[in-house]
Structure 1
Amino acid sequence: MKRKYPNLCSPVTLAGVTFKNRMFSAPMGGTDITNDGCIGPKSTAFYELRAKGGAGAVTVSECMVHPKTDGSHAYHLDTSILNSIACAAYTADAIQRHGAVPSLELSHSGMYAGTYMTDKSRQHELNQWGPSDTVRPDGIRVKSLTKEMIDEITGAYGKTAALAKRAGFEMIMIHGGHGWLINQFLSPYFNKRTDEYGGSLKNRCRLAIEILISVRKQVGEKFPIEFRMSGSELFSEGYDLEEGIKIAQMLEPYVDLLHISAGTYQRGFGDTHPSMFKEHGANVYLAAAVKKHVSVPVATIGALNDPGQMEEIIASGQADIVYMARALLADPYLPRKIEENREEEIVHCLRCFTCMAERAVTATRRCTVNPLIGRELEGTEVVPAPVKRKVLVAGGGPGGLYAAYTAARRGHQVILCEKESELGGILKSEQAIPFKKEMYELGRTYEFLARQSGVEIRLNTEVTEAYVQKEQADALIIAVGSEPIVPDIPGLDGKQVVVVNQYYQKQENISGQVVVLGGGLAGCECAVHLGMEGKEVHLVEMKEELAPDANVRHRPLLLSEIDKYVTVHTGCRGMEVTKEGVICEDNNGKSYLVPGTSVICALGQRSRKVCVEKLKDAAPYTAVIGDARKVSTITNAVYQGYHAALDIL
């Protein structure tokens, strides 16, 4: 078979180990870590799905090597811990049996011990150790590691690597980036030592080199060692790309693969994990620059999920391997789809940060576009239904489309009806905002998958109770979504006013001076887009905070963009829309004009309850999903649609 992406699909050999392709699964932390640091069964299933999906290597993250100085709630490998080796062995085996190379990331948090604890008060109770005495920005004191402690930590890396090899892992990744301990020693911002571990670049690299020597001594020569580092810390007090290249050159003799990431977690989350506001592959230039100065293979990472872009990265010599994390949450089978020339089936990551926000809030994992993630033990295969039913889906938004797709895979006869002329539901409105194009394209992808699975789609067709009875449907999934809230504000029905959901249809109505009414997620993102276009944008929100409906990872990045492009008026209620703008009233009752020749109404959504009420008894089995059930997120719509389809008996 001629492969469309031959470079991505070609094997690569590191230290005598051959990897079947150049698409590797990046480190992603577990979600059911036991109290003593063992890998839980949910996490084993999580990593296995990455391997089953065709990744050349799957990296398990993070194994903390020295609990005495690093109290992070993460994996540990220790023969004194019952089941520690066994859990690691089961995980390595689960990855390896699908043809992927199992790799374990070894790490130490340094002065950020306890970062992964859900209870942050416990983190602040820990002793924090780093290269130098300091006080963290949050007021926590950090003690300088002694030479004896450094020797002990260096030895712990080697001992843990040996245990990983014993458990069946076939590669080790040393985490030297993102502001963790090794990066803290490499960085002039963190490292203020005056002994042999501080000052000159050679001294700052000493700990990393000693760790790599310790690991090599334990695992032997025919065992790949990968070093993950930030090509640049991307802030003024840290090291830049020029120094990052020198660091890579100093470490090169001790490694088989240099994994070039970016930034520090504490100073630039949106750099380390490129957000929707950045270009895909925004950090590839760092790996490309390093590769010109080293002879060992180089890996790159950062919002990569497009087969064409990744193929070009390998073909042009910018890197030898591409790593993906969020992309393989959205679609674990992405590598297989590329290898099998099925790239049109790929469900692309939205870069919405639902995955990382959920982990921060509940210590579980969830993905907006993939209801399996974090719940792999519940089953990753859609099992055929014992009795085939006639299923009617009312509504062609993301939840309805995914429900139809799932029901069809179970073997049911599925008809999806959409009252408008185009599928996608609320996702259609995202097509006008470039940084949200993946959300619009999600509707197209779900439509493709649904049609491919045999779903009959009827556009311009509204589902009524009579329609359901005429079709004699056994099951009805009600996914009729929500409608915008347009309050009775004088002038809000004017020609210069565009409801945010309809902006994609009426972009030409929006002039250079805009007032956005409503500071929720939709209003904020639209305001940022308009500001990026060069328009003068005022954002009016009656509450004191913006975007409370944004998740904890996306919200700070969104607010940062707001600061760049938008003039904000919080604690301010819109009272009347005029030709000159919006007359507002602040919390003290004072009125003033917020100027604008155009107005975007983004005051929220309400469920289509009347429609739901009319349909709830229309079929023997009915399920209400998504915004029709409760105005919420794409995540909940997709998850509910998937399970509604599974519940059809």
Structure 2
Amino acid sequence: MTLIDRDRSTGTRGVLGGPGGGDGSSLEVLYTPARIGRLTLKNRFIQSPMHSKFSSEFGEVSDKLTDYLVERAKGGAAMIILENTAVDWARGRAAGNPVRIDDDLFVAGLSDLTEAVHREGAMIATQLHHAGRQCSTANTEGGVGALAPSAITSTAIGDEPHAMTHEQIAEVVQQFRDAARRSVMAGFDMIEIHGSHGYLLTQFLSPQANHRTDEYGGSFENRARFPLEVVRAVREEIGPDFPLSYRISLEERVEGGMEADDGLAFCTLIEPYVDVFNVTAATYESMDSIFMMQGREPGELLPLAARVKAIVGKPVVGISRLGWILDAAADSVAAGEMDFVAMGRTQLTDAKLILKVKNGESDRARRCIGCNECVGTFLFGGWRLHCVMNPELGYEREANALLRPQFGATRKRVVVIGGGPAGAEAARAAALRGHDVQLFEARDRIGGQVLTASAADYKKREMEAYVTYFERELEHVGVRVHTGAALGADHPALVDADVVVVATGARVSAAGEPGALDAVEVMRTGSPLSGEVLVQGANEIALNAAAYAAQQGAQVTVVTGERAAGYDMNPILAAHTVQLLERAGVRIVADAGAAAVEASTTTLWAPDWVADPEPVAGLEWLAGLPGSVEVVEVGARVKGGRLYQATQSGFWAGTRI
């Protein structure tokens, strides 16, 4: 059994270096104007909303939020949809600190945001949002508990909500109406009603979440009553011509949830009141269809958009990792199956992807690798939004100031040792600051552990594209890259260097059992595996090695010991990866006894990788350099950790040179 299904029509299209890899005339339709109601958008690209926690703790627009969205406006998006904008801060906001629009006093900050985006030639919409039962009790003021159609707990949240009274239903309808008025006051170009992903309006439509016996529950017509009242109230408030979008999870993908037929019926019901449909799927109980990860094919949700487009006369927005398959997205637009391409995490990873692709520089665009650290590690961990690949996310103002030649600064000769993510980020940043940079990599290609991880087929596309990005980007910014290069203190580049950046990676935490093979080395060298394979370890390396062995036809058992499989990954990605492995026939057990290991079994050891405790460990010859040479260590060799620590460490070290 394979780990990934490549048989779908979009399965091999749009991948960098493949057919229709992202440049050329096939994409021209995506750069043509199109209308939403009275608006004419300059192209077909919409930035999908994504919770960032960049607003203030009180929910006000901040400089950080503005800088982040302005950078995406500069990057070419025709329309930016602001993240979930709370109409009910007390009982209905998303976790932490979303943007709020529940009082007139927030209009001033929101108007600053719309003006800033407009100056860059983009339009901006607000997304009116109420979390319903997907708001935890801890996130409500006074711990009063969330509101929902019925007192049925979401398994994704775990807190029992309160069933809404008729008075509360009327109050929330008024909150949406008032938020719509404020959206117009603040200068937004469009309003989107958030009726997807398991939030309050979805809950009323859902047979799983809505068990009411009054006029708001039971039949489809009754379940649709409340969201329809919201749509009508907003339309009445903003008048007949102001553009209105509805974002819908056409199907919930949970047992007993709303199926696509009801979703389509609701689209038909609200079509007279809206100007565009933004089509997605799922709730937080089926999260892997919201945040699609490695091993899921891009474009999986496009058939849902096509089904809506087939029955309505209004424009339709499609989504699902479309940054990977822009050629397929363009074909869908040309065929009349959708009208606009929405990108969310893609826009986090590279704010300029839209312009890079238009200019024929697709290989210089970062593509989201689908690791879901942005949500599963950072947002769920109480942090603001971060991207493991893009250290500039959330720091756009600082990065823009630093990534340019510094007036009056001395141009330095910089040598970077190591071509993994930390070394590549340091080299890129230093070169953009105007320095003369050379990068030396001992192996025949840069990429480090990212390249090793590409041995697992289910993540090969993402990892290979990331390495290709760095190869093209370093060339673009003028870094001279030397692969297969051995260095010593007498190397001419080091003799003349002003700064040496050491980015040689982490070290193995402990030795494996006698006879066990290093899992990383097996994957790096492409060693063949067959028969019975035992993988010792529970970290991401162990799971990658299991996938690598399974794709070669081996019978694989992972022995995790006392730790859970994927303990060093975010919980969403870990669960997703375990599911992929189990579908491929991989056994995951706690101890070797339970695995019934044969004597002929090949054993792989997947240790943790940790920081070196001693400065320049393994490179003691650096002590022979002149005292005037500055030596800087970056990445996993000093930070430990994972990809995020490597890219952050390398990038910010490069900006300090």
Q: TM > 0.5 between the two?
A: yes
Counterpart of 2:603 in structure 1 is 599
Q: Distance in 1 between matches of 2:140 and 2:541?
A: 35
Deviation at 1:19, TM superposition (A): 0.9
Q: Does 1:398 align with 2:435?
A: no
1:314-463 to 2 correspondences below 5 Å? 314-356=333-375, 357-381=377-401, 382-385=403-406, 386-437=409-460, 438-463=462-487
Once the two structures are overlaid, the 10-residue window that deviates more, 459-468 or 447-456, is: 459-468
Q: Which of 249, 258, 268 is the equivalent residue of 2:277?
A: 258
Counterpart of 1:575 in structure 2 is none
Residue by residue over 1:50-69, the C-alpha shift from the partner in whole angstroms, topping out at 9 and shown as x without a partner, is 11111111111111112354
Report the AA paired with residue 414 of structure 2: V
Deviation at 1:469, TM superposition (A): 6.9
Q: Distance in 2 between matches of 1:188 and 1:617?
A: 72
Q: Which of 626, 644, 647 is the equivalent residue of 2:653?
A: 644
SS at 2:485's partner residue?
A: coil
Report the AA paired with residue 16 of structure 1: R
1:25-424 to 2 correspondences below 5 Å? 25-70=47-92, 72=94, 73-79=97-103, 81=105, 84-114=106-136, 120=138, 125-137=143-155, 140-265=159-284, 267-306=285-324, 307-356=326-375, 357-381=377-401, 382-385=403-406, 386-424=409-447
CA contact (8 A) 1:616 1:622 kept: no
CA contact (8 A) 1:515 1:596 kept: no
Report the AA paired with residue 421 of structure 2: P
Report the AA paired with residue 122 of structure 2: A
Q: Distance in 2 between matches of 1:595 and 1:202?
A: 64
Counterpart of 1:10 in structure 2 is 32
Residue by residue over 1:376-426, the C-alpha shift from the partner in whole angstroms, topping out at 9 and shown as x without a partner, is 232335120322111111111122122212222222111111112222112
Counterpart of 2:556 in structure 1 is 537
Report the AA paired with residue 117 of structure 2: I
Once the two structures are overlaid, the 10-residue window that deviates more, 26-35 or 294-303, is: 26-35
CA contact (8 A) 1:302 1:324 kept: yes
- By percentage of residues, which structure has more strand? 1
Residue by residue over 1:196-228, the C-alpha shift from the partner in whole angstroms, topping out at 9 and shown as x without a partner, is 221221221222221111111222233211100
SS at 1:335's partner residue?
A: helix
Q: Distance in 2 between matches of 1:596 and 1:440?
A: 33
Q: Distance in 2 between matches of 1:201 and 1:533?
A: 49
Residue by residue over 1:73-103, the C-alpha shift from the partner in whole angstroms, topping out at 9 and shown as x without a partner, is 422224454xx11211111112111111111
CA contact (8 A) 1:484 1:499 kept: no
Residue by residue over 1:232-266, the C-alpha shift from the partner in whole angstroms, topping out at 9 and shown as x without a partner, is 1112311222222222222222111111111111x
Deviation at 1:513, TM superposition (A): 2.6
Counterpart of 2:540 in structure 1 is 521
Counterpart of 1:24 in structure 2 is 46
CA contact (8 A) 2:415 2:493 kept: no
Once the two structures are overlaid, the 10-residue window that deviates more, 346-355 or 24-33, is: 24-33
SS at 2:597's partner residue?
A: strand
Deviation at 1:433, TM superposition (A): 1.6
Deviation at 1:124, TM superposition (A): 9.7
Residue by residue over 1:11-45, the C-alpha shift from the partner in whole angstroms, topping out at 9 and shown as x without a partner, is 11111111111111011123243343212221121
Change beyond 3 A, Cα 1:67–1:451? closer
CA contact (8 A) 2:494 2:500 kept: no
Change beyond 3 A, Cα 1:214–1:546? same
Taking structure 2 as the reference length, what is the TM-score of the superposition?
Answer: 0.89
Q: Which of 499, 505, 512 is the equivalent residue of 2:525?
A: 505
SS at 2:371's partner residue?
A: coil
Q: Distance in 2 between matches of 1:67 and 1:121?
A: 9
Report the AA paired with residue 297 of structure 2: E
Once the two structures are overlaid, the 10-residue window that deviates more, 622-631 or 498-507, is: 498-507
Change beyond 3 A, Cα 1:16–1:503? same
Report the AA paired with residue 427 of structure 1: V
SS at 1:377's partner residue?
A: helix
Identity %: 28
Once the two structures are overlaid, the 10-residue window that deviates more, 330-339 or 376-385, is: 376-385
Counterpart of 1:577 in structure 2 is none
1:579-590 to 2 correspondences below 5 Å? 584=592
Q: Distance in 1 between matches of 2:632 and 2:385?
A: 25
Deviation at 1:182, TM superposition (A): 0.1
CA contact (8 A) 1:515 1:595 kept: no
SS at 1:362's partner residue?
A: coil
Q: Distance in 1 between matches of 2:484 and 2:158?
A: 59
Runs of 4+ in 1 over 6 A off after TM superposition: 121-124
Counterpart of 2:489 in structure 1 is 465
SS at 2:50's partner residue?
A: strand
CA contact (8 A) 2:102 2:175 kept: no
Q: Distance in 2 between matches of 1:499 and 1:144?
A: 52
CA contact (8 A) 1:538 1:594 kept: no
Q: Distance in 1 between matches of 2:241 and 2:495?
A: 65
SS at 1:611's partner residue?
A: coil
Q: Which runs of 5+ in 2 are unaligned?
A: 1-22
CA RMSD of aligned residues (A): 2.5
Report the AA paired with residue 301 of structure 1: I
Counterpart of 1:576 in structure 2 is none
Q: Distance in 1 between matches of 2:337 and 2:293?
A: 22
Q: Does 1:610 align with 2:617?
A: yes
Taking structure 1 as the reference length, what is the TM-score of the superposition?
Answer: 0.90
SS at 2:71's partner residue?
A: helix
